[in-house]
């Protein structure tokens, strides 16, 4: 039987056959080289990019819909026990700090990096090492081209160079051995790298996001007026000097404001008024006006009065400041204000007093009652239940709470994100990349000057990577300028005729 072309004498699948040779070649290739190329192909995939982006978008929506960082019990109340277990086990309650979300970001970053490495070096080599000398015959293969004759055989190359420079083209010219010359002109080359800059910007943004997730933090500081608190994870403090609310004429809240002072090394180093969307910045920390309210564990002062039990009369009231000891007029007693709760409650097991809420639902103050220099009692007295507790045991007088003035606090959100500057750098680079990609076009024009009988033949042809209609107008203006400055009147062809 006649042997088929391409087969070895051993036949397919037998020793010496082509198939067996291919399999031996594959087996001889080191396993780690095969593995490396497989991993590279996996990350150099547009399908992977789309899949990761879609997955990230979906989980980001889930992270937006599901409240983040709430107490565990709240998820059971809001979603039921079954869904709460799923949310907590999947870390959907802390989506943006979960390992799997970080893994998505890392995979996307590697994918973008590999795609950039795969495409950028060849592009760089091709564009920057592009040959500026060329065969004039290539002009005839360009869709945008023009040819015309000039009566003067000299000075045409200089005219071409001058016109190109006026239009901000870079040029490279060459003399031809048989006479004549070629001129290669180009501009907007950097626009070809806009997509690569955008890829790099994405890598920076993703890197900044990961840095911020693992090295940054967020916290909340309720600060009382005239109080100083230490900033978490920092070596300085902040003091709230003033808090106030601005209102519209209708009575609705317009804005709430705080004046914060940064205390560093025992010195006031920075003071600023903050409000919503106007934070204070210091050493990489940002302090935002977040909320406000009144203190639930202290007050500015209390209005007290002495009640004469035998006459059932109440004397004129007097004010006692927080921590202040003051004599009760007309008696041998004095009082000191030492405690306050906005919503009184008592834990029988621990025998402690606490506030059930921040609202002044059942306010009470604690006093130290002195007779002369001696402390005789430390009662809690109630605004809503005057006389419920005998503040002066065994006496014909009692102390009642007539009112009090609260201390406002300002809710300050504090955060530090060391990746912010990296993200901003990425955003700026992305804007530059978009500008280059969409508004800077790579334009190239090839021109040849050839001596002919009675004059000079000039041929021009060009191409652009985007916006061909705009380039045709520019190309036509360049051709007209060359003909006008050279005194040429006889066209040999036009762009429309030679397409």
Which DSSP category does 364 fall into?
E
Calpha distance 185→169 (Å, rounded):
6
Chain centroid to Cα 55, Å, comes to 19
CB 84 within 8 A of CB 76: yes
Strand pairing class (318-321; 285-308): antiparallel
pLDDT in tens, the chain (499 residues): 444 444 444 444 455 554 555 455 545 555 545 667 788 888 888 889 889 889 988 888 888 888 877 777 778 878 888 888 898 888 888 888 888 888 888 898 898 888 888 888 877 777 777 667 788 889 999 999 999 988 876 788 999 999 999 999 999 999 888 788 999 999 998 998 898 899 899 899 988 888 887 888 888 888 988 889 999 989 999 999 999 999 999 889 889 999 999 999 999 999 999 998 899 999 989 999 988 888 888 899 999 999 988 888 888 999 999 999 999 988 899 999 999 999 999 998 888 999 888 888 999 999 999 999 999 999 999 999 988 888 888 888 899 999 999 888 899 999 898 888 899 999 999 999 999 999 999 999 999 999 888 788 999 999 998 899 999 999 999 999 999 888 755 444 444 444 3
CB 445 within 8 A of CB 168: no
Query: Cβ of 263: how many Cβ atoms within 10 Å?
Result: 17
Judging by beta carbons within 10 Å of its beta carbon (0-12, 13-18, 19+), is residue 267 exposed, middle or buried?
Answer: exposed
CB 371 within 8 A of CB 382: no
Sign of the Cα torsion 282, 287, 293, 298 reads negative
Task: Choose among 67, 74, 73, 64: nearest CA to 93.
Answer: 67
Tokens (6 digits) for 410? 């300002």
Query: Cβ of 77: how many Cβ atoms within 10 Å?
Result: 11
Q: Which long-range contacts (CB under 8 A, 24 or more apart) does 258-266 make?
A: 258/223, 258/289, 258/410, 258/412, 260/287, 260/412, 262/236, 262/237, 262/238, 263/228, 263/236, 263/237, 263/238, 263/239, 264/235, 264/236, 264/237, 265/236
User: For the packed helices 194-215 and 420-439, what is the interaxial angle rounded to 10 degrees?
Assistant: 170
Q: List b or e across 19-47, with b for residues whose CB sees 16 or more CB atoms inside 10 angstroms.
A: ebeeeeeeeeeeeeeeeeeeeeeebbeee
Query: Can you name the residues that pair with 446 across neighbouring β-strands?
Result: 184, 461
Single pTM value for the model: 0.61
For the CA atoms of the chain, what is the radius of gyration? 41
In the three-class reduction of DSSP (H, G, I as helix; E, B as strand; rest coil), residue 76 is classed as helix
Calpha distance 413→221 (Å, rounded):
6
Chain centroid to Cα 69, Å, comes to 19
């Amino acid at each position: 039987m006649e042997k088929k072309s391409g087969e070895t004498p051993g036949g397919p699948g037998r020793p010496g056959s082509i198939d067996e040779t291919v399999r031996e070649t594959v087996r001889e290739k080191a396993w780690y080289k095969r593995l490396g190329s497989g991993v590279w192909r996996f990350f150099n995939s547009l399908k992977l990019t789309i899949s990761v982006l879609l997955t990230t978008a979906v989980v980001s929506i889930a992270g937006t819909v599901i409240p983040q960082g709430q107490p565990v019990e709240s998820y059971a109340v809001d979603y039921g026990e079954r869904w709460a277990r799923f949310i907590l086990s999947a870390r959907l309650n802390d989506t943006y700090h979960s390992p799997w979300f970080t893994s998505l970001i890392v995979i996307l970053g590697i994918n973008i990096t590999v795609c950039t490495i795969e495409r950028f070096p060849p592009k760089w080599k091709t564009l920057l090492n592009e040959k500026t000398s060329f065969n004039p015959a290539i002009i005839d293969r360009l869709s945008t081209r023009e040819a015309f004759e000039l009566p003067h055989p000299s000075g045409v190359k200089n005219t071409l160079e001058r016109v190109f420079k006026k239009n901000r083209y870079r040029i490279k010219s060459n003399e031809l051995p048989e006479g004549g010359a070629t001129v290669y002109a180009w501009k907007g080359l950097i626009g070809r790298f806009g997509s690569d800059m955008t890829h790099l910007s994405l890598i920076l943004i993703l890197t900044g996001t990961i840095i911020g997730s693992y090295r940054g933090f967020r916290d909340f500081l309720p600060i009382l007026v005239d109080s100083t608190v230490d900033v978490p994870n920092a070596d300085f403090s902040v003091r709230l000097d003033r808090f106030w609310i601005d209102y519209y004429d209708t009575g609705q809240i317009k804005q709430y404001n705080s004046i914060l002072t940064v205390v560093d090394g025992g010195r006031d180093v920075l003071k600023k008024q903050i409000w919503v969307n106007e934070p204070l910045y210091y050493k990489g920390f940002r302090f935002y006006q977040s909320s406000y309210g009144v203190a639930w564990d202290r007050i500015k002062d209390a209005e007290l009065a002495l009640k004469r039990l035998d006459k059932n009369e109440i004397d004129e009231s007097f004010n006692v400041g927080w921590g202040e000891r003051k004599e009760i007029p007309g008696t041998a007693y004095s009082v000191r204000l030492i405690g306050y709760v906005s919503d009184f409650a008592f834990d029988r097991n621990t025998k402690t007093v606490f506030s059930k809420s921040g609202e002044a639902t059942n306010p009470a103050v604690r006093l130290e009652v002195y007779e002369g220099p001696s402390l005789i009692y430390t009662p809690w007295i109630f605004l809503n239940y005057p006389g419920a507790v005998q503040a002066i045991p065994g006496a014909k007088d009692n102390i009642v709470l007539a009112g009090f003035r609260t201390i406002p606090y300002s809710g300050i959100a504090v955060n530090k994100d060391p990746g912010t500057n990296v993200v901003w750098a990425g955003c700026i680079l992305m804007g530059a990349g978009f500008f280059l990609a969409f508004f800077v076009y790579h334009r190239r024009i090839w021109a040849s000057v050839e001596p002919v009988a009675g004059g000079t033949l000039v041929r021009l042809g060009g191409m652009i990577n985007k916006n061909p209609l705009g380039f045709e107008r520019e190309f036509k203006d360049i051709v007209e300028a060359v003909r006008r400055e050279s005194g040429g009147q006889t066209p040999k062809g036009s762009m429309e005729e030679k397409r």
